[in-house]
Amino acid sequence: MSRFDSYKNSFANAELTRSETGVLEVRFHTNGGKLIFNGHTHEQFVDLFHQIGADRDNRVVILTGSGDAFMDAIDPEGFDFFTPRGYDKILREGKKVLMNILDIEVPMITALNGPVLLHSEYALLTDIILATPDTVFQDKPHFDFGIVPGDGVNLLWPEVIGSIRGRHFILTRQILDAQTAKDWGAVNEIVPANNLLTRAHEIAEGIAALPPLTSSYTRIALTQKLRRIIDEGAGYGLALEGISAAEIARSMAENA
Active site residues: 121
Q: Which residues, other chains included, contact 43 with Cβ-Cβ below 8 Å and sequence gap of 6+?
A: 78, 89, 93
Compute the distance between CA of residue 204 and CA of residue 207 in angstroms, rounded to an integer: 5
Q: Are 151 and 74 in contact (CB under 8 A)?
A: no
Helix 153-161 with 163-171: angle, nearest 10 deg: 140
Rounded CA gap, 15 and 49, in Å? Answer: 13
Estimate the crossing angle of helix 224-255 against helix 153-161, to 10 degrees.
130
Give every CB contact of residue 60 below 8 A, 6+ residues apart in sequence. 22, 23, 24, 106, 107, 108, 109, 204, 205, 207, 208, 215
Q: Amino acid identity, residue 131?
A: A
Q: Is the Cα torsion angle 77, 7, 227, 210 positive or negative in sign?
A: negative
Give the ranges where 8-134 is alpha helix by DSSP (H). 39-54, 84-102, 120-124
